[in-house]
Structure 1
Amino acid sequence: MNNIITATQIKETDRHTIETEPIASIDLMERASLAFVTIFMQLYPDKNTRILVCCGTGNNGGDGLAIARLLQERSYDAIAVWIARFSSHESNDFSTNLARLHNTPIPITEFLPADELPGIPQEVIIDALLGSGLNKPLDGDWLRLTQHINQAKKQTVAVDVPTGLRADGVIPEGEHTLHAHDVISFQRPKLSFFFPESATAMDRFHVVDIGLDEAFIENMPCDFKLVEAEDIQRIYRKRKPFSHKGTYGHALIIAGNRSTMGAALLCSGASLYSGAGLTTACIPPEGLIALNARYPEVMYCAWDDLADQWAKFDAVGIGPGLGNARDKSPNMLPDILRYGSKPLVLDADALTFLTKRKTLVKKLPNQSILTPHMKEFDRLFGAHGNWWDRVQTARKKAAEHQLIIILKNQYTFIVLPDGDVSINPTGNPAMASGGMGDVLTGMLVAFLAQGYTPAEAAVLACYLHGAAGNQLAEENGMAVVPAGRLIEAIPSTIGALW
């Protein structure tokens, strides 16, 4: 997993790389700008595209000046540069690149505070105004300029960070930012990219290697890590010859009621397709015909028989579609906690039960996995005004109760008992459809049953769940990915890792 470091740590890494490579700061800027240009040319291959590069006078602006020159050297001839001189500060590397740019035919327009801003005829804008050092809201001429650029409604590509977006920490609601269609970030994505509030500032991001010292980055103290495909390849255990169904554990799914039996079927099917050797569903009797028709491989256990059969299960998931329809629903969670400690996943209505009886949180087995979406999390742990505070609360509660909290999001946060947060990068908006959480719960229980640690199961399930959705959306051009189709894509998604 890659460390996702703060803006301060990125500056420390820049300094370390300059001192130890060694490399002059202007040459590191050139290397970063060339990496940016490589991706930009893939996004906009038409060299007749009219491009406006908007620069501040710090190092982000220096990057912009170098980018303009490098694009012109690659036959992008319709380039213009704006320089916002709204500060008396000018970095040394900005000055050097400005001198270099004067040796090109690129027209340069400089703006002082309160100067009138002309219209923008170019098709593409490159934002190199402020970068990652911002720690306060935009105001004055900076606010006026970003509003002017946004109102032009042109394709915009930000250098490292969109102007106005903080690289880490709280993103205040309603804070004004420039809106970038693409962000090309240096060496690492910024932590803020993974928080929902960043949606007003950017549509998507790309990360380019600029040759910073990776060993130095990975040795930095860091609470947030990004899951990669290599992590899944390392964690996942391929099936071996002479193994059998008993090798891969017995998963129990407690789910469903008369009106939401589909949730139980999706959860059970996901367990089956994720490799549990055996899967048993504890569902209302009314669902037996549907279960047998859809997944005849899944066995059935009546609620009244659960205590007697409890010992044979290796992992348990409870909650999807459970509702309050069953007479025993309010007592289900307390009852199973009395049956004996098992690796446990709580989702949906099981989380609702916890909200009504919060003292039960302290009685959950260590390393139990909770899978709340935002509203479920806030009902359980209190209202939050932003996602940064929500994640900090998740870290506190995971440590306090020795839980794993999977806080579901476009980029899901997997919060571990030691306070570390693994960020899952897979998934897409096409997966925003009913039943996806039920599928994730089934996958989690299946991996627990197979003997993975709860942390491993959480990382595997979240990554493969999103990767299966990506596979369907990309290969089949699906605007919406149904949960049932995703289940069937799980085995091929696992196979594609190799």
Structure 2
Amino acid sequence: MKILSGDQIRKTDQYTIQQQGIRSDELMERAGMALFKWIHDQLQGAPVTIHLFCGIGNNGGDGLVVARLLAEHGYSLEVYIVNYSDKRSPDFLTNLDRLKDRKIWPHVFSKVDELPIVSKDDMIVDAIFGTGLNRLADEWVTKLITHLNASGAFILSVDIPSGLFTDKPVANTSGIIMAQLVVSFQYPKLVFFLPESGVFCEHWVVVDIGLDTEYVANLAVTYELIQLQQVRALFRPRKKFTHKGTYGHSLVVGGSYGKIGAVHLTAKACIRAGSGLVTVFVPQCGYVPLQSSLAEVMVITDKQEKHLSHIRVPFQPSAIAFGIGAGTSESTIDAFEAFLEQNRTSLVIDADGLNILSKKKSLLKLLPPKTVLTPHPKELERLIGPWQNDFEKLEKVIAFSSTYDTIVIIKGAHTIIVYKGLGYVNDSGNPGMATAGSGDVLTGVVTSLIAQGYLPLEAAIMGVFLHGRAGDLAAQHGSMESLMASDITSHLGKAFSEVSSTADEKEGNDG
């Protein structure tokens, strides 16, 4: 699903109006009707008082359409016009007249009025500002928004939480609605998925308002939302006449004294994600733990007991994961540099591999094309430097990715994969996955998929989604609080099953 910028949203609205031969107020009616239907389907006439706060632009006009339809269906309403400007959009005025024609008289709320009384048992529909907002709210509007946030009432925002910009950060976060739910028109907004702005949007849904899909299909967007449908399109079902060699040989290089468990997690995830063969290269201290705990993998050891000092592998792997638990000793850094100078195999670099690259940035030039990097926030900061906000962070990652021809997986609540100036936003996963070893499992999944023949970008997109979906299934089976990294690995099979179900049908497979 494409994620449109604010400018693209406006142009899509305009194109739809022109192409379909409708008036702008008719498109607004569609949007309001879709929003009303969603609310009505949830409430089913429940006896709740709904407070609608409408601005004087098109977002407010959408809110007035909803108010009219809710009133026609017998809901208890209080409608407020937040009078923050003398200017009114024409479609807002059209729908204000329609509301008054039905003898519904909204309260015109300005800076001289007392703050409205809203009970925690009530519902708020926020339609104050929309995607066209480009400046901070006035102080008195900020006080109103703060008051609504503190009311304890359930808040539903129309299209975007009021006060939130579509394509840039907001300096004054106290002037942003904290929405429990956002009903977004046709497409989600990037700000729903970024750490700094996503906190204002607890949940979101999209409703179809009939925007021209062919026009959107031809739009060049910077970000795309990755959901089950997109991953199913990438998935390749297994064929009957194959063997373990068909599905690649993954090599996991890492480990140091006290950190062999990280290698175990990555190697096991490689196997569970479908790699035909898995070998680990570890210091000698990892031999017994891995041989005794993970029967499916082969083990090669370094000459050193406690850390990596010389990486030599007597076979040609299909994909290599490096850095998990490796440490950053001088001998390990030297070993990694020597390895990079002769390696041409696809790489996935995590953990201390990333820290080594940060310590010695000249090594970045030795990475094979399309190397996959999987940093958490602090590892990312060490690689690209600090950022002022999430938008600057994305700009810096895009520049870094282009400079070094790397695929960067920005791990987080909505992990974003960046390559070739484009971002792919993941929509699976949950807070329970914020646990030790979760990233090690992700590295194993992505490495395994590359070993099986998926292109590195495909493997990154699929791997991140499968990893998150397995985490969701694990949380459903237990709880987010009790979730461990090994639980994610245990639920990869079910995640693959969900992805493969329609793919199998398309292939005509019978088992």
**TM-score, normalising length: structure 2:** 0.92
2:425 is the counterpart of 1:426: no
**Shift in alpha-carbon separation, 1:22–1:228, aligned structure 2, 3 A:** farther
User: Distance between the aligned counterparts of 2:108 and 2:172, measured in 1?
Assistant: 32
Measure the CA separation in 2 of the matches of 1:43 and 1:346.
46
Q: Secondary structure at 2:46's aligned position in 1?
A: coil
Report deviation, 1:480.
Answer: 4.0
What secondary structure does 1:133 align onto?
A: coil
Aligned to 2:405: 402
How far apart, CA to CA, are the structure 2 residues paired with 1:209 and 1:424? 21
Work out which of the residue numbers 354, 366, 369 in structure 1 matches 2:357.
Answer: 354
Instruction: Name the SS for the 1:152 alignment partner.
Output: coil
Name the counterpart of 1:263: 262
Query: By how many angstroms is 1:338 displaced?
Result: 2.7
* Distance in 1, Cα, partners of 2:227 & 2:129: 30
1:372 to 372, 375, 383: 375
Give, in whole Å, the separation in 2 of the partners of 1:85 and 1:308.
Answer: 71
Shift of 1:199: 3.5
Q: Which residue of 1 aligns with 2:464?
A: 462
Which segment is superposed worse, 299-308 or 371-380?
Answer: 299-308
Judged with a 3 Å threshold, the aligned counterparts in structure 2 of structure 1 residues 487 and 129 are, in CA distance, closer, same or farther, namely same
Q: Residue 81 of structure 2 aligns with which residue?
A: 83
Residue identity matched to 1:120: V
Can you list the C-alpha shifts for 1:260-307, whole angstroms capped at 9, x where unaligned? 222111101110000000001112333333323332001101125986
State the one-letter code of the partner of 2:425. I
Q: Is 1:143 paired with 2:142? A: yes
In the alignment, which residue of structure 2 is the partner of 1:71?
A: 70
Deviations 1:187-211 (A, max 9, x none): 1111111111114422121111111
Q: Which stretch of structure 1 is more off in the superposition, 172-181 or 162-171?
A: 172-181
- For 1:25-44, what aligned pairs fall within 5 Å after superposition? 25-44=24-43
100-109 or 130-139: which moved more? Answer: 100-109
The whole-number CA distance in structure 1 between the counterparts of 2:487 and 2:204 is 28
Q: Tell me, what secondary structure is at the counterpart of 2:51?
A: strand
Which amino acid in the other structure matches residue 111 of structure 2?
P
Report deviation, 1:155: 1.1
8 A Cα contact 1:64 1:159, kept in partner:
yes
| Aligned positions of 1:169-318 closer than 5 A | 169-172=168-171, 174=173, 176-304=175-303, 309-318=313-322
Aligned partner of residue 30 in structure 1, secondary structure: helix
Deviation at 1:257, TM superposition (A): 1.9
Which residue matches 2:113?
A: 115
Partner of 2:508: none
1:98-125 per-position Cα deviation (integer Å, ceiling 9, x unaligned): 2222244645211233222232236110
Percent pairwise identity? 36
1:40 Cα offset (Å): 2.3
Unaligned runs of 5+ in 1: none
- Partner of 2:348 in structure 1? 345
Correspondence for 2:125: 126
**1:102 alignment partner, SS class:** helix
Cα separation, 2, equivalents of 1:365 and 1:174? 42
Specify the SS of the correspondent of 1:202.
coil
**Which amino acid is the alignment partner of residue 492 of structure 2?**
I
Query: What RMSD in Å do the two structures reach over aligned CA positions?
Result: 1.9
The aligned counterpart of 1:333 is: 336
The counterpart of 2:385, out of the listed 376, 382, 385, is: 382
Question: Matched residues in 2 for 1:310 and 1:15: separation?
Answer: 62
Partners in 1 of 2:204 and 2:496 — Cα distance? 25
Of residues 454-463 and 34-43 in structure 1, the stretch that sits farther from structure 2 once superposed is: 34-43
Q: Describe the superposition over 1:66-85 as per-residue Cα deviations: whole angstroms up to 9, x where unpaired.
A: 11122233332x11101112
Partner-residue secondary structure (3-state), 2:325:
coil
Q: Deviations over 1:202-243 (max 9, x none)?
A: 212111111101121121222111223222112111110110
Tell whether 2:492 aligns with 1:490. yes
Measured after TM superposition, the shift of residue 134 of structure 1 is 1.0
1: CA distance between counterparts of 2:38 and 2:476?
Answer: 21
Secondary structure at 1:80's aligned position in 2? strand
Give the Å deviation of 1:472.
Answer: 2.3
Instruction: Name the residue aligned to 2:306.
Output: none
Q: Secondary structure at the match of 1:252?
A: strand
Q: How far apart are the structure 2 equivalents of 1:470 and 1:13? A: 34
Contact 2:430-2:480 within 8 A present in 1 as well: no
| Cα deviations by residue, 1:120-173 (Å, 9 ceiling, x for unpaired) | 236110000011111122223321221221222211010001111011123447
**Residues 220 and 199 of structure 1: is their aligned pair in 2 closer, same or farther, counting only changes over 3 Å?**
closer
The answer (yes or no) to whether the contact 1:255–1:283 under 8 Å persists in 2 is: yes
List per-residue Cα deviations over 1:43-77 (Å, max 9, x = no partner). 4446201110000111111111111122233332x
- Aligned to 1:203, the other structure's residue is in SS state coil
Instruction: Give the Cα separation in 2 of the matches to 1:208 and 1:163.
Output: 18
Unaligned runs of 5+ in 2: 304-308, 502-511
Per the normalisation by structure 1, the TM-score is 0.95
C-alpha distance 260-44 of structure 1, shift in aligned 2 (>3 A): farther
Q: CA deviation at 1:424?
A: 1.2
Q: CA shift at 1:328, angstroms?
A: 3.4
What amino acid maps onto 1:344 in structure 2?
L
Amino acid at match of 2:322: I
Q: 1:45 to 1:434 in 2, by over 3 A?
A: farther
C-alpha distance after superposition, 1:385-435 (max 9, x if no partner): 11111111111111111111111121111111x211111111111211111
Query: In structure 2, do the counterparts of structure 1 residues 178 and 484 end up closer, same or farther at CA, with 3 Å as the change threshold?
Result: same
Q: How does 1:470-485 map to 2 (within 5 A)?
A: 470-485=472-487
Do the aligned partners of residues 366 and 212 (structure 1) sit closer, same or farther apart at CA in structure 2, a change above 3 Å counting? same
Deviates more, 1:95-104 or 1:238-247: 95-104
* Alignment check: 8 A CA contact 2:99 2:105 kept: no
Cα drift, residue 371 of structure 1: 0.7
Distance 2:43 2:253 in 1: 51
- The one-letter code sitting in structure 1 at the alignment partner of 2:129 is L
What is the CA deviation profile of residues 354-396 of structure 1, one whole-angstrom value per residue up to 9, with x for unaligned ones? Answer: 1111100011111111111111111111111111111111111
Q: Secondary structure at the match of 2:408?
A: strand
Which residue matches 2:507?
Answer: none
**1:451 matched residue in structure 2:** 453
1:479 to partner: Cα distance: 3.9
Give 3-state SS (helix, strand or coil) of 1:337's partner.
Answer: helix
